[in-house]
Amino acid sequence: MSRSPARRRGPLRLVAAAAATCALTVTSAAPPASAEDSRPYTETYRPQFHFSPAKNWMNDPNGLVWFKGEYHLFYQYNPSGDTWGNMSWGHAVSEDLVHWRELPLALPHDDDEMVFSGSAVVDHGNTTGFGTPENPAMVAVYTSHSKDDGKQAQSLAYSTDRGRTWTRYSGNPVLDIGSKEFRDPKVQWYAPTRSWLMTVSLSTEHKVRFYSSKDLKTWTHLSDFGPQNAVGGVWECPDLFPLPVDGDPGRTKWVLVVNLNPGGIAGGSAAQYFVGDFDGTRFTPDDDGSYTPPPGVVVQDFEGSGYGTWRTTGTAFGDGPVPAPAPGTSGTSGAEGRGLADSFHTGDHETGTLTSPPFTVTSPYLNFKVGGGRHPHVPGSVTGDAPAPPGEVLADFEQDGYGSWTATGTAFGDGPASGTLPGQHPVSGHEGSGLVNTFLGGDATTGTLTSPDFTITARHLNLLVGGGNHPSGADAPTAVRLVVDGRIVRSATGTDSEELNWVSWDLGDLAGRTARIEVVDENTGGWGHILLDQVMLSDTPARPRSTETAVNLLVDGKVVASATGADSGTLDWASFDLRAHQGEQAVLQIVDMNRAGWGHVMADHFVAADRPATSAVQRADWVDHGKDYYAAVSWEDAPDGKRRMIGWMNNWQYGNAVPTSPWRGAQSVPREMALRTVNGRIRLTQRPVPAVESLHGPSVGVRDVGIAEGSVPLAGGRADGGALDIRATFTLADAERFGFTVRTGAGQETVIGYDQETGELYVDRTRSGAVDFHGDFPGVQRAPLTARNGKIELRILVDRSSVEVFGGEGEAVITDQIFPSPDSDGIRLFAEGGTARLDSARVWQMRSYRD
């Protein structure tokens, strides 16, 4: 991904340009490599065998190319801080894809542009004239993001000294279609036509576009591919490459990788892929993406002029369904028939509900289409604007100044804000006109606001909170804290929303104590501000207001199933499993309680059926089923012709908040890619590059271990460690689930297992250490994996802050970050619901690539 997932406001700290002319020679803008090499890399969570920069922010890998004995890894980099911004190209090199050496900054941003994602090639034929046949130029093809108008175009820079210094081409940009969503070119030499081939993304149109050029400067449009399969977010960082099927060079297929954010299989960022043919002009997938859902009885199709027996509240849904747009005529797609329910009546600010009459559940499944905002139902929330419980108001921020509260820094100004500040999306959910709002001057301002001491005289403290999601324990929090005896005992943060909502702290254990409230804004990145209002002591907890955009199934007045959109105008199939509610009375309710961005819901075509419908996300093929593998692209010009890929090991849902310092961002282990026939289908498979084994230290091996229900240390604890390479084979027995727990200790564990009932590999990181820095971080990720000859084979790479799990022959892969305590380094075997058998396992301790 080339841009922040949240809006960016406020001044950017700029690296000075080396020259003001169009042709710009880029000089070193970072410490010399020798200085970087002296860093110990012993910080908590510092990866030992995954590349991470010495300091500051890193995201997408860029410019992957092999040249003169070196693999080059360029990457999106902020030279001025550890959150997204000031996008430039960092640079590292390796001779084996494992031992990396960080080099000075390659392509810095300047006063005119940020340097977004792209690729690099070696111009052996000197088609550009930038080098000579004897000394070919390395050419970077990158997206220029204009700081003036936000437009994105494709530009060139070149180097004639193995990528150590760079010159921007004086004729930039070389490809400009006037779009703000046109980025991430992947360029390669296409031998059959003796020309350069560019694969680039039309991000919001969910298309990949192909161009051809003889000299990298003048480009001819060839064709477009898409939309198809997962389209819940923007399409970014495409890659196209050929691979033999099952190792047969006479049977070659092309793989098109398209990275997606949000809308991935595990939520947020992910990389999907298509297998097909490329004829030099057009990519044709083997699967055309068509889908016919299971048949059934239509319950509601919204084809009439009104809602019939369904009733509405509020204003969001109007008097009846809206006409379904023809394909390509608006931002909405995927509707069935002529109409749909759509709460974007006049905008996102309207709210309301649309409720069916009661019905008796008689079918196993209810299938329907849903789209719009990704705002899930929160159990216990109140639909509507329920008043706060009575109590003592400590602060309502209706006065001109802060009174006895004390402010420091520049974020809080001289007093409360009167609602929305300049440059900010509309603020809502506060009481009265005044509130604390640290978006004063943009997200770049920081400071604190501290209350006078008060005595805790009630069971609960209720407060309205909004703004950025940067918890109190993060390096740069936007949080409200309760401090007792100098210790933070409670804290709250926003949800990356300008809508304030109720938070309630139970203070039962603190009755009679003296406390104070601290409002902290230390964040200068996206959503780097906090909102606060109506601080009250009360004997009754405030219930949060619903902010959902969801389709809910209610039984006895309780929500028992819920589905939401994916921040997308495309409606997709969803399904409720009704088997546990046969014969019960139920109602369907479509709910829009959100006034912020993507604050609407769309629904259509409810069908009672015997089988569940599957969404496009479920039907798509995914490079990785984990939460933390994005912007995946491959190296060009590898000397042995093998295809190797790497991805950014993070997720835009929480990327700016992961608890690492002084760096933020790591890359996956490079992987060798292959196409194999698995269960009758051609699948993209992957394995760590063999050079990872050069970091092997001492090992422990075990064989023929029976695993009773429960868990036991592997090899009596002799295999424990914080950085491991694990290879294991299990034989299926009667256990429902079995596998490993790694990085265990003091109540912490990361579970890596196989679910025999569902046929899925899974990683559970809900107890993997620090998981509370963002609500989207804890969870369980799953990937389909079929046992082969009754056995499950696993390869697991464990590092200080990540796990990468490869199942079978690499057809099932899950990559997840984890943040356990340094002393949580145990590894155990487990079985649930029966017994399991470990045929064999070997565990290597892993050395640092810097040793």
Helix (H) or strand (E) holding 34: helix 33-37
The candidate with the shortest Cα–Cα distance to 166, out of 106, 77, 105, is: 106
Q: Pairing between strand 195-202 and 182-190?
A: antiparallel
The C-alpha atoms of residue 466 and residue 646 are separated, in whole angstroms, by 36
Q: Would residue 764 show up in a list of annotated catalytic residues for this protein?
A: no
Q: Pairing between strand 621-622 and 270-278?
A: antiparallel
The C-alpha atoms of residue 649 and residue 260 are separated, in whole angstroms, by 14
Determine contact, residues 813/659, Cβ cutoff 8 Å.
Answer: no
Q: Residue 231 class from Cβ within 10 Å (0-12 exposed, 13-18 middle, 19+ buried)?
A: buried
For the record, the structure tokens of 758 come out as 């569902």
The phi-psi region of residue 68 (left if phi > 0; otherwise alpha if psi is between -120 and 50; otherwise beta) is left
Cβ atoms within 10 Å of 516's Cβ, excluding its own: 16
Residue 482's identity, in one-letter code, is L
The C-alpha atoms of residue 704 and residue 607 are separated, in whole angstroms, by 50
Residue 675's identity, in one-letter code, is L
- Out of 37, 60, 286, 572, the active site residue is 60
**Within 13 A of 729's CA, how many CA atoms are on the CB side?**
9
Determine contact, residues 787/660, Cβ cutoff 8 Å.
Answer: no
The C-alpha atoms of residue 145 and residue 184 are separated, in whole angstroms, by 11
Q: Residue written as tokens 């004829």? A: 279
628: phi then psi, degrees, rounded to nearest 5: -130, 60
Residue 760's identity, in one-letter code, is E
CA 670 to chain centre: 19
Determine contact, residues 322/342, Cβ cutoff 8 Å.
Answer: yes
682: Cβ contacts below 8 Å, ≥ 6 apart: 245, 253, 275, 286, 675, 676
Q: Is 189 helix (H, G, I), strand (E, B) or coil?
A: strand
State the catalytic residues: 60
